[in-house]
Amino acid sequence: MVDNNTVMKFGRCIECGTRETNGFSCYELFGFPIVWEHNDPKLYELHFWLVSCYMIQHPSNYTEEGYKHLVNLFIDAYDNNWDTPYILKKNREIVKSVGKITNPIPNKERKRELRCWSMTIEDIYLGGEQNAISNINKWKIEVRNDLRH
């Protein structure tokens, strides 16, 4: 199955390893916490972390330089405990200097490699809306730790 951002084979995302859950692909699972954010301003404050954790686990969406930018921004923001307005300011500055960050290759033709992650969007979805804040905070810690290896 191919959707906007992911390829599922044998019930798993071929990039992050997320299992198809309740009939939803990896990308469809990502849509749930995006909707949940609209119900909770405190959850919406974690939007950068939600999106960046997901996108770091799906590098085929980016150019090589765009992916490096995302990972470096994530690491800097995490390691320096930046607040969201500052993260977004830094992101705008870097994107202006990098130029095109999204992968121009058609989705079906992109090269994808499986990488095992400690936590994926599946964990956020399965934890439910009531646990989304704590689970996204845990996810950013896990992604940061996984990036060290």
Series of mean pLDDT values for 10-residue runs along the chain (149 residues):
67 94 94 95 95 95 90 96 93 80 85 93 97 98 94
**Burial grade of 63 (CB within 10 A; 0-12, 13-18, 19 or more):** middle
What 3-state class would DSSP assign to 62? strand
At 100 the pLDDT is 76
At 39 the pLDDT is 92
Task: Quote the pTM value.
Answer: 0.91
Domains of the chain, residue spans: 26-105+117-147
Chain centroid to Cα 28, Å, comes to: 13
- d(CA 98, CA 95) in angstroms, rounded, equals 5
At 108 the pLDDT is 82
At 4 the pLDDT is 57
